[in-house]
Chains A and B, each alone.
Chain A
Amino acid sequence: MSENPYVSHEARILEVKDLTPREKLFTLRFVDPEVGENFNFKPGQFVIVDVRGFGEFPISLCSSPTRKGYIQLCIRKAGRMTKFVHKMREGEIVGIRGPYGNDFPMEEMEDSNLVLVAGGLGMAPLRSVLWYAIDSGRYEQIWLFYGTKAYEDLLFRDEVVHLLKHGDAVNCKVKLAYEVESPSCVYLEKGFSDRVCRGVVTDLFRGEEFDVENTYALICGPPIMYKFVVRELLNRKLSPGRIYMTLERRMRCGIGKCGHCVVGTSTSLKYVCKDGPVFTYWDALSTRGLI
């Protein structure tokens, strides 16, 4: 059974937490301790969630491998499958197979500065990087630029607001941008006028200077965001090889067979599930349709 790469492993839901009206955080642990022991993932990788008898969907891991014993998935209610999962409760079982895809080069980036740029749900995979970086303590300055539609859409609100207030102690500078005004935003903006603003995520770059020789940028967000963020980073002379982004595509198998995530043209054809989901801006320049 275990040799079949399409068969998932049983995982129990330990906790379900509402993050926003649309997103929930699921904390899971593998039923078989041996499977859990062998499940080694890296920030940026994803898993396929198997709701037996209903279907499968890919989702990025939002917990960090530095925190062992469980995995966390931030799931937005976006379709039939995720709607079903949102109804699941603590103690219930789902299937998990993976981890799949490549990852952010955390080791290569050690002793460097990290600029994490998240848009909306893009915060999920970057949370894995963020906690990895903070827990390991092997990185210089960490910036988190996080843009959402409204305060209510802020994922991992407690953690993010905590880091906004106390992040400097762990070399993490959090900046938030929102589009729709609300009392909570105004309150935050009053307290942290240099870190919270109304606008889009690229507005957060204002006033920030990076040491281009020693900084990596990691981006995740809706498709429209990449072009603008990349432009902002290139304006600051960051090398395309130091700009990493993680992409979303329809994935059925996760192992480069089903063909749904193929991007590119006759000179460069890539499977996002296998060759990605993490790509550099160099990859985007040579593979049309990547961003």
Chain B
Amino acid sequence: MRYIKLPSENFETFFNSLREWGKIYGPVKKGEVYSFQEVQGAGDMALDYNRTMLPPKKFFVRPRDQILHLKNGRWENGVDDERFVLFGLHSCDIHGLKILDKVYLGEPADPYYKARRKNALIIGISCMPDEYCFCKSLGTDFAMDGFDLFLHELPDGWLVRVGSVRGHEIAWENEELFDEVTEEDIQHFKEFEERRASSFQRKLSKEGLADMLDLAYNSPVWKKYADICLACGNCNMVCPTCRCYEVCDKWINAYEAVRERRYDSCFMESHGLVAGGHNFRPTRLDRFRHRYYCKSYFDPSAGFNCVGCGRCDEFCPAGIEHVKVLDEVRGSLQ
């Protein structure tokens, strides 16, 4: 890894230089919540944000996405070629994108996702955990790759980790904005990371978690929470790794139609329905349990399907807490 320093006074110039890449999207405060929006100046962003409501997946797997266009009886498709900058991604969201990569870039690759991923410049930023974060338990609190540049806060600027060739190029082109990293900066970086590591309030005990949950398939805890759950699907929408989508064709006039895909939720009754009316997950309990199993699935090569961002907890209208459910299910085994 290459490390360089971006002094505070150069931050704005650096930000403006990114315009050459494309439109810049960053965290913006809207009322009580944050969201990734297009920003014109560095001052528009709230870089000390905790989490946005929708994760950055919305730039790659869009809530509504027209994938094909039917004209003269034939499908036409156009993949996006517009480059853009995602500024200020937290480590958990970078890990979330890596999980999506595994699915969408796996053979055969999704051409829409692939093009958008190629066009996106990812700039990460360090953060302090709040009461919902449990990324440390899942090992997603620090990103080792998956970004072009990663900014770590220092008292007088940013320690920048260069994570890709593209990141190198950007640093190279803006050479005059960056300094060498000093011993003092390293000390500050170390202190920040240590303070951050000790600030986590929530912890998921993941030892043998996948098997424990599987063994607790008939635990009454699932039912207890499924009864509280409103089955609204909010947790699916805000999850950085949930990616189920539904497809539908729509006529826009008598001669043209579009094929659109949009977010789907495993909490919807239609999710497990097949032709003829048979449903493989007919009850809310089945669907509730399925989401937890999906998120807690442990892939030996990629880890869990959850990155511990805390969105599902913060935006759950029923106040269901992910870690608490898993702990209780595990506890019910004894």
A residues sitting closer than 8 Å to B (CB atoms) are 1, 3-8, 52-57, 76, 78-79, 82, 93, 95, 222-223, 248-250, 252-253, 255-260, 262-267, 269, 288-289
Structural contact, B276 and A260, CB atoms closer than 8 A: no
Give the chain B neighbours of A95 by CB distance below 8 A: 75
B275, A269: Cβ atoms closer than 8 Å: no
> A250: nearest residue on chain B (CB-CB)?
B274
CB within 8 A of A82: which of B68, B210, B275?
Answer: B275
Identify which of A4, A252, A257 contacts B77 (C-beta below 8 A).
Answer: A4
Q: Is the CB of A266 within 8 A of B245?
A: no
Nearest residue in B to A120 (C-beta to C-beta)?
B276
Provide the residues of chain B in CB contact with A76, threshold 8 Å: 275-276
Residues of B near A82 (CB, < 8 A) are 275
Residues from chain B with Cβ under 8 Å of A1 in the complex: 75, 77
Cα–Cα, bound, A129→B109 (Å): 30
Residues of chain A with a CB closer than 8 A to B248's CB:
55
- Which one of B111, B210, B249 has the highest number of Cβ atoms from chain A below 10 Å of its Cβ? B249
The residues of B that contact A4 with a CB separation of less than 8 Å are 77, 111
Nearest B residue to A55 by beta-carbon distance? B249
Interface residues of B (CB under 8 A from A): 67-68, 70, 73, 75, 77, 103-104, 106, 108-111, 209-211, 213-214, 217, 243-249, 251, 257, 259, 261, 264, 266, 271-276, 278, 280, 290, 292-294, 296-298
- Pick the contact of A249: B246, B259, B280, B290 (CB < 8 A): B280
Residues of chain A lying within 8 A (CB to CB) of residue B75: 1, 7-8, 52, 95
Are B274 and A248 in contact (CB-based, < 8 A)?
A: yes
- The answer to whether B271 and A260 have CB atoms under 8 Å apart is yes
**B274 near A52: Cβ-Cβ < 8 Å:** no
**CB pair A266 B214 closer than 8 Å:** yes
**Quick check: B77 and A7 within 8 Å, CB to CB?**
yes
Contact assessment for B275 and A53 in the assembled complex, using a CB-CB cutoff below 8 Å: no
Q: Select which of B70, B247, B292 is within 8 A of A53 by beta carbon.
A: B70
Interface centre among B67, B109, B272 (most CB of A within 10 A): B272
Closest 8 pairs (CB-CB, A-B): A259-B244, A78-B275, A53-B257, A266-B210, A266-B296, A5-B108, A269-B297, A265-B293
> Given contacts A56-B247, A252-B245, is CB(A257)–CB(B110) below 8 Å?
yes
Indicate whether A264 sits within 8 Å of B271 (C-beta atoms), given known contacts A3-B111, A54-B249: no
Q: How far is A126 from B150 in the complex, measured between Cα atoms in Å?
A: 55
CA distance A255 to B75 in the complex (A): 19
Measured CB to CB, the nearest residue on chain B to A286 is B214
A118 to chain B, nearest CB (A): 16
Q: Which residues of B contact A248 (CB under 8 A)?
A: 274
**A52-B257 CB under 8 A given contacts A5-B111, A266-B297:** yes
When the two chains form their complex, are residues B70 and A79 in contact, meaning their CB atoms are under 8 A apart?
no
Q: Is the CB of A288 within 8 A of B111?
A: no
Name the CB-closest residue of A to B266.
A259
